[in-house]
Structure formats: structure tokens, C-alpha cells
């Protein structure tokens, strides 16, 4: 473990600070991430286990789901383990990072990322790992806060250095969806911009991407271009 992955204060404040936001703004979007879950599911950067209560509900209706999680920060990880124990949720939590996942190729049906790509150091490497561990035909689902435009973006730029130090390495101005869309192994099922949150943590994007079965045979051979739904909220 490096100092980069140890944020005891951030871990201690995470749940109390987000308590109201979790129950109001974020809840419907977390529900979106777990709709019709099946098979082996990986929670990337589980934090304090904010997704675990929703996993617990999902498993009530589908006993065959198998949950796995990675969380490199030991302070976050301890809270996630406590939450899993309190819920009696069977989730196998490992300490590795998204850039180097400890699973074989094609091992998950769904990979979920909630508010984690803002913090991951090497986003391209992590996307490559998501592609590698997803089964062909599997889904990558995400909810992320991203860079805004206009004056809000200027506020984000101003606060970014201080925010990164205070919020466990979080970057305010990442253009995360572009990185995902560039990955040639994905097709976009849904991608939405959500005008939720408060500057500087606004807007959000959420989406579902499909892991192509035959990457090499795609006629364009490059990015995910088959967009079934592209909805932009004002
Ligand atoms: C803002 S928290 C979000 C936690 C949780 N997913 C949620 O929805 O509340 C970001 C989490 O990503 C973890 N993280 C940071 N770098 C990571 C990496 N390279 N790979 C995986 N997780 C990472 C942090 O330790 C932190 O717990």
C-alpha cells in the first residue's frame, strides 16, 4: 500500500458527509446500476460499500448473483467489510487497484464503477482491465461526476488542486465518458449526462456499455459507435 491509497480522514467523513445526498440525489442512479443484475458482478473501488445495500436487495430477487469488490484504501475497505457484515452480504473484497485487477480474463458479467474514475490514477489502464475481465456480452455500468462547462468549469479548475488533496485524490475535471467511448471493445447501450450535484461536483454521467463479442471483426475496428440510446438532460 502507498500513501496515495490511504486516506483515513476522507474514509471517516465519506458516509456522514454524503448521508443526505445518498438518500436523495444519488439513490435513483445507484438503483440504475443494479437493475436486472445477474451472474458475477464486480464493484470497482467499493469505498465504504455504498452499493452494498443495493446489492443486498438485488440478491434477494436473484440468489445466483456473486458479488466481488476491489478497494485499495484500507480505511475504506474496513468500512466496506463492516457494512457487508452488517448486511450479511456475501461479497469478496480484495485490496488491488483497478489498473491491475486480480481476476482472469472474461470473468465478470457486470462491472460497476460508481464515482471511482475521478480518483483512479491511470484511467486508460483501468478501462483496459475492465475490458479484460468482462465476459464478451457483459456490461460495464457507471455513475461518475465529470468536468462541467462555462463558469462552473472555471470554479472546478480553481478548486481542483485543493479538492484533490482533501477528497482522497479526486479529480474534478475529468472527461471520463470520452475515455470509455474510445475503448474499441465497447458499444454504447446508454449514456446520459445528468444535471445533478452541486458545483464543483457536477454534472454526472451514467451509462451502460456492452462488451463486444468479436472486437476484431467490427467493420470500423475502432471505437464503440453503435449507440442505442443517447439521452442528454438539460
Ligand atoms: C469517491 S470514492 C467512491 C466509492 C464508492 N464506489 C461509492 O460509490 O461511494 C472512490 C473510491 O475509489 C478508490 N480508489 C482510488 N484509486 C483506486 C484505484 N486505482 N482502483 C480502485 N479503486 C480506487 C478509493 O479508495 C475510494 O474508495
From first to last of the 234 residues of the chain, give the pLDDT tens digit.
445 689 999 999 999 999 999 999 999 999 999 999 999 999 999 999 999 999 999 999 999 999 999 999 999 999 999 999 999 999 999 999 999 999 999 999 999 999 999 999 999 999 999 999 999 999 999 999 999 999 999 999 999 999 999 999 999 999 999 999 999 999 999 999 999 999 999 999 999 999 998 644 444 444 433 344 444 332
Ligand 1, atom 22, lies closest to the CA of 45
CATH 3.40.50.720 fits 3-232, yes or no: no
49 lines ligand 1 (CB under 6 A): no
User: What distance in angstroms lies between residue 214's CA and the mean position of ligand 1's atoms?
Assistant: 31
Residue carrying the nine cell digits 438485488: 58
For residue 209, the tally of other CB atoms under 10 A from its CB is 27
Structural domain boundaries of the chain?
A: 3-232
Cell output for 147: 468536468
Amino acid at each position: 500500500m502507498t500513501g496515495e491509497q490511504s486516506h483515513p480522514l476522507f474514509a471517516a467523513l465519506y458516509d456522514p458527509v454524503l448521508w443526505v445526498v445518498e438518500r436523495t440525489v444519488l439513490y435513483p442512479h445507484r438503483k440504475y446500476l443494479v437493475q436486472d443484475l445477474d451472474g458475477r458482478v464486480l464493484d470497482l473501488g467499493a469505498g465504504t460499500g455504498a452499493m452494498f445495500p443495493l446489492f443486498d436487495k438485488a440478491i434477494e430477487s436473484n440468489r445466483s448473483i456473486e458479488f466481488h469488490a476491489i478497494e485499495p484504501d484500507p480505511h475504506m475497505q474496513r468500512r466496506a467489510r463492516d457494512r457487508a457484515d452488517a448486511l450479511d452480504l456475501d461479497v469478496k473484497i480484495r485490496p488491488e487497484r483497478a489498473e491491475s485487477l486480480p481476476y482472469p480474463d472474461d470473468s465478470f458479467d457486470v462491472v460497476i464503477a460508481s464515482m471511482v474514475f475521478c480518483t483512479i490514477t491511470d484511467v486508460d489502464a483501468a478501462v483496459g482491465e475492465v475490458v479484460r475481465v468482462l465476459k464478451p456480452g457483459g456490461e460495464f455500468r457507471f455513475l461518475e461526476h465529470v468536468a462541467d462547462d462555462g463558469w462552473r468549469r472555471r470554479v472546478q479548475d480553481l478548486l481542483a488542486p485543493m479538492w484533490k488533496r482533501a477528497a482522497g485524490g479526486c479529480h474534478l475535471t475529468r472527461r471520463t465518458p470520452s475515455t470509455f467511448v474510445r475503448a474499441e471493445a465497447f458499444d454504447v447501450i446508454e449514456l446520459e449526462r445528468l444535471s445533478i450535484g452541486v458545483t464543483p461536483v457536477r454534472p454526472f454521467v451514467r451509462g451502460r456499455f456492452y462488451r463486444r463479442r468479436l472486437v476484431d471483426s467490427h467493420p470500423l475496428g475502432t471505437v464503440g459507435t453503435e449507440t442505442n440510446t443517447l439521452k442528454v438532460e438539460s
